[in-house]
Amino acid sequence: MIISVSRRTDIPAFFGEWFVKRLLQGFAMFRNPMRPTQVFAISLFPEDVDAIVFWTKNPKPFLEKLEYLKDYTYYFQFTLNPYDTDLEPNLPDKNVLIDTFIRLSDIIGPKRVIWRYDPIIITPRMDMIYHLEKFEELCEKLSKFTTKCIISYVDFYKSAVPSLEKIKAVDLSDDEKLELFYNVGQIAKKYGLSVETCAEAVDVEKIGLRKAHCIDGALIEELRGKKYDFKKDKNQRLACGCVQSVDVGIFNTCMHFCAYCYANYNRKAIEKNVKEMFDENSPLLCSRLDLTRDEIRIRIEDKSYPIKLDEILHYRKSENEIFQRSFIDDKDDTQSKLERIISKLKRSIFS
């Protein structure tokens, strides 16, 4: 199983301690965004995790926690854009982010730090020439510390439209996007960087670019030295090339407050969620388990198995307790994974 950490919020920037505690406990939980009372538990034991993919705009607070990942395969998607505080109001200075990018690459290697110049936003103040100049400036500073840059043009999500209209963002035509992407690709080529486009429907192959696989099965196979039968993630957009993963984040919790964000809808809700709901000891990020309401299921690969409420409520603490369940008849690998997760889950709830 591949763990996404996270498309929904910036865990390395804001919730690194929470994630480390999940690793130490051996499991995490997350709510179904489309059905919030449905909660999934997943194993985070190294033997059950194929890879962890981190998404972040500022991993600096997480660098000191990389030691906890020594038994895992992982890489970072690091977004570094040329925007000021009007679009990215709560990020460190760009020079600090560049230094963090370099430091992270020095620690884990350039192949495991993927640069995202994403999203590209065209406005009267930031036209195509602006972006090409800024992109080249960043290439000069980052190209020795990564091998790949992923780009995309901004999506006009409903939640982001008011902010994008305020800065007079332009919704480019397909031909204009191809012109932009081609020019970006030509600059990157000078610095030995490959460029891929994220979830773009336009035909970028004809201009010499590749469609991105941000959750990248081929990269994970390379890092692990092992072949897998990864499947395309059906829960993502049609143009998305990612393989299947599970995401442990939650929407409306990222405190970067970027104007173009698709994962945040309401600043007051974000501040309330983080202030009132965040508990680094909870298996759920910025949420609490409600045993009277929540439907709890254990997720293993693309299947899930229900936990009966009385199995949790009738739990007795015992160091050597063996938990009997009725999910699966045979004592197979799936069964043993279930047992490990349930043991951790019960101990966490009643500790």
Judged against a pLDDT cut of 70, whether residue 348 lies above it is answered with: no
Residue 8 pLDDT > 50: yes
Q: Closest Cα partner for 120 from 181, 166, 49, 163?
A: 181
* Two tokens, residue 161: 């439209």
Task: Please say whether the beta carbons of 244 and 302 come within 8 A.
Answer: yes
> Residue 247: pLDDT above 80?
yes
Summary mean pLDDT of the chain: 90
- What's the order of all strands across the beta sheet hosting 51-56? 210-211, 194-197, 148-153, 113-120, 74-79, 51-56, 2-5, 246-247
| Overall average pLDDT of the 31-55 stretch | 95
- Percent of the chain at pLDDT exceeding 70: 91
Highest mean pLDDT among 91-100, 157-166, 257-266: 91-100
For 43-53, how does the pLDDT look when each residue is reduced to its tens digit (9 = 90+)? Answer: 999 999 999 99
Give pLDDT tens digits for 157-191: 888 888 899 999 999 999 999 999 999 999 999 99
Measured between alpha carbons, how far is residue 39 from residues 75, 125, 277 in Å?
26, 44, 16
What is the pLDDT, as a whole number, of residue 137? 98
Asked if the model's pLDDT at residue 272 lies above 70, the reply is yes
Q: Of 2-6, 219-223, 258-262, which gets the smallest average pLDDT?
A: 258-262
Point out the least confidently predicted range of 93-97, 212-216, 288-292: 288-292
Angle at 68 between CA 319 and CA 8, to 5 degrees: 100
Cα 64 to the center of its chain, rounded Å: 19
Higher pLDDT, 138 or 334: 138
**How far is it, in rounded angstroms, from Cα 109 to Cα 44?**
23
pLDDT digits (tens, 9 = 90+) for 324-346: 332 333 445 677 777 777 776 66
Any idea how long the chain is?
A: 351
List the end-to-end C-alpha distance of the chain, in Å, as a whole number: 27
- 99 pLDDT exceeds 60? yes
Lowest mean per-residue pLDDT among 51-55, 118-122, 289-293? 289-293
